Amino acid sequence: MSAHGEGKTAGSGWTVSEIPSLAGRRALITGANSGIGYHAALELARKGAHVLMACRNKDKGDAALARLWDAVPGASAEVVLLDLASLESVCSFGAEQLLLGEPLDLLINNAGVMAPKKRQQTADGFEMQFGTNVLGHFVLTAVLLPALVRAAADGVERPRVVTLASIAHKQGRINFDDLLSAKSYGPMVAYRQSKLADLMFAFELDRRLRAAEPPICRVMSVAAHPGVANTNLFQVGEFSPVERVVRRGFGMAIGAWLSTEEQGALPTLFAATSPDVADGGYYGPQGLLEMRGGDVGPAKVAPQTLDQAAAARLWSECERLTGISLL
């Protein structure tokens, strides 16, 4: 059975100092130009990994890379352009990466869209949150799987896919009759569904990987959530001036009471690097209601996440909608 919340905790006050050397390993992080993605990239680079900072916007990516180099002179990192809201972009990017013939040791599916007020669509006509958070990462994982398998065959350490979920998944439901919110759109309803789908994807990927033949079965699938961190997810979007002030104020309150971006990145970094991580594990902060805390450990999983029949159906829907098969 998949471990989900099982396995060791990180121990009191797990910190980035416990990340082992990552010299010679390649890591790709989506949404690495800001927030949790940036801080994950920073710490992985600090430990010697070659970090591919996947971003939609070149200028923002270059600015983040310059910031990273200021913090870690000589770090091995580069910006790669990737738009998860375009399947053409994802597939082209994957093809370019595979042509390099390089292994990929770590794929962190981090980027996300949170609760735009009005229903928006991706380049392929999918609702923006489901299309980006779920389908974009589904296809990215599929097209980069050969590089992960190469790392599984060549490396001593097992490669990992880390998918970012959220405590919001607990209120989520998969509406198979309206996955893309075409009939009815609610910003948080769609967001919760996308984060539940991300977590179900991580668990279903784990099951399928472990059922596969070597070396595919050496690839790990795990998940993490940041708790509630003061990231730009709270402020980016089409909001009225009043809503922007409220969201900015909420972000300031979070910064004072809950987690910083650096703290929010700890569960991702733990899931990506700790030897204590189990196949199919799900990790998050251990503080109040899993919203914050200096410790990292197994996170709580909502019952609907464990519906394997629904997970298999969701997987099939992802394949049908994208035209891309994965395992």
Which sequence positions are flagged as catalytic? 191
Q: What are phi and psi of 183, to 5 degrees?
A: -80, -40
Is 156 buried (19+), middle (13-18) or exposed (0-12) by CB count in 10 A? exposed
Query: What's phi and psi for 85, nearest 5 deg?
Result: -90, 15
Question: Which position has the token pair 């923006």?
Answer: 128
What Cα–Cα distance (Å) separates residue 121 from each residue in 130, 164, 285?
Answer: 9, 21, 32
Q: How remote is the C-alpha of 291 from its chain's centroid?
A: 17
Neighbours of 296 (CB within 10 A): 27
| C-alpha–C-alpha distance, residues 179 and 53, integer Å | 30
Q: Are 164 and 270 in contact (CB under 8 A)?
A: no
